[in-house]
Amino acid sequence: MRHYRFMLLFAALWLIPATATHAQPSRRVFQPRMTQPAIVVLNGNAPVINVQALNAKDAAYSFEITDPASGAIVAAREALTVTDVPGVSSVHCENQNLMVQLPASLAPGLYSLRVTSVIDGESSTETIPRSVWVLAQEPDTVTFAHVSDTHAGDPRAAMAPSAETPDERREKVYRAACASGVDFVILTGDLVSVPGNYKNEYRQAYEDIEAHVSCPVFAVPGNHDLYTTHAAKESADGRTFWKRYFGEERYAFSIGRFTFVITNTYDWPAQYRNFMNQPLMRQVGSYSSGAMSLEQYDWLDQTLGALSGKTTLVFGHHLFRDYSTKNSEVPGLAAPDRVLDLLAARGVTHYFAGHNHRNTEETARGVTLSTVVSAASDIPEDASWGFRKCTAHRDTVSCEFQSVVQRTD
């Protein structure tokens, strides 16, 4: 959101110290993730997942399937076969690509992946929660919850009239979404809020999802997730935090005939995402407005072009009208109309976003564009905190807003 009056509040959070201990995503396995689980459709097929792991000399990996709630071992390491897959490209060029054969007897369900790795003689065991999703067969319909702008650490959230705290609102929406009977949840960005407080906020966002989202979940980055405080330091960049906690900024996953394409609509070069250079951000509109690089546009074109015959839904944080009107001043960015035209030309009928903290729906170029309110931060006076429950059929998609927490004004 583009609220400059809150910048002083954001800056006031700059000096909050990071907590000493917290839940940690795996440092040695990059895929699957809690927010990008591996999907296995049995349907008579051998249950196999692909794992991207740190590629170190003489590294050895073994895996177990565990129950997310109890931690009990569902499939011991002896029952899993691990095969190195040489020559398979990955987003992280340093990755080792592994194929893990799961037991044929594994029942449908959502599981955690426990990883034991030995690198340079040092053994480490990590659990990637709810990162393996096993389905019995390809579904005829898919139902998902569209949740957005959960905003851990947002100072605006505390000002909203509610009997619940922002954390309580977020937790209730998460729990209600999974309890509604959806197959999975998609979070369309702004999981955190203030770049100077990323160390705390990314931890909180990760822990909140781990604690309160009991069904499969996929994440989309937003502008608040990808700011930086130094254009040349990766350690200060929200993209580094995002990759560390939630995985890739853009990707696609399929469930039977349905494919879901995740895009990064805050794809500005680092200097335009630098929260410490407000004059430049205001000049080009990059404080809150969307942008897509030409490189990502080409990826999106190729991805959509390979999905002939699939029912394809696309997700991002920004609507196209929320892209900057000054994109042409920055080299290497695609015009927003060009992105929308691409979706229409490739037969995409629905695009889902967040960012504006409102429930909206409109149609442009034959594509239905919809947004959902924030799950925890500021919302319009006539709104409530909640999520959209959407059902995708072969040729249609229908959504209905589910109210969870009411305003008290």
Domains, the chain: 29-135 (2.60.40.10), 139-405 (3.60.21.10)
Q: How far apart are CA 383 and CA 314, in angstroms?
A: 25
Distances (CA, A) of 268 to 243, 286, 290: 16, 7, 8
pLDDT, the chain, mean = 92
- pLDDT bin (cut points 50, 70, 90) of residue 23 is low
Neighbours of 130 (CB within 10 A): 24
Q: How far apart are CA 406 and CA 164, in angstroms?
A: 9
- pLDDT bin (cut points 50, 70, 90) of residue 4 is very low
Residue 73 CB partners (closer than 8 Å, separation 6+): 64, 65, 66, 67, 114
CA-closest candidate to residue 11, choices 288, 275, 187: 275
Reply yes or no on whether the pLDDT at 6 is more than 90. no
Reply yes or no on whether the pLDDT at 8 is more than 60. no
Q: Given this model, what pLDDT does residue 348 score?
A: 97
Q: Above pLDDT 70, what percent of the chain?
A: 92
What single-letter amino acid sits at 194?
Answer: V
Q: Given this model, what pLDDT does residue 161 score?
A: 95
Q: How far apart are CA 24 and CA 199, in angstroms?
A: 12
Q: Given this model, what pLDDT does residue 13 score?
A: 46
Reply yes or no on whether the pLDDT at 15 is more than 80. no
Residues 37 and 44: beta-carbon distance below 8 Å: no
Q: Given this model, what pLDDT does residue 237 score?
A: 97
Q: Given this model, what pLDDT does residue 245 score?
A: 97
Residues 113 and 340: beta-carbon distance below 8 Å: no
Per-residue tokens: 333: 């960015």
Question: In the 8-state DSSP scheme, what is residue 323?
Answer: B
- Provide the whole-model pTM: 0.93
Average pLDDT over residues 285-290: 97
Average pLDDT over residues 233-261: 97
Q: Given this model, what pLDDT does residue 278 score?
A: 95
Please give the biggest Cα pair distance in the chain: 62
In three-state form (DSSP H/G/I as H, E/B as E, the rest C), the secondary structure along 14-55 is HHCCCCCCCCCCCCCEEECECCECEEEECCCCCCEEEEEEEC
Average pLDDT over residues 128-143: 96
Q: Given this model, what pLDDT does residue 17 score?
A: 46
Q: Given this model, what pLDDT does residue 94 score?
A: 67
Q: How far apart are the first and last CA of the chain?
A: 22
Per-residue tokens: 261: 């394409």
Reply yes or no on whether the pLDDT at 116 is more than 70. yes
Ramachandran angles phi, psi of 313, nearest 5°: -115, 140
Average pLDDT over residues 101-125: 94
Over the stretch 326-367, which tens digit does the pLDDT of each residue have?
988 999 999 999 999 999 999 999 999 999 999 999 999 999
Q: How far apart are CA 105 and CA 113, in angstroms?
A: 17
- pLDDT bin (cut points 50, 70, 90) of residue 9 is very low
Per-residue tokens: 41: 């459709």
Average pLDDT over residues 369-396: 97
Ramachandran angles phi, psi of 397, nearest 5°: -135, 130
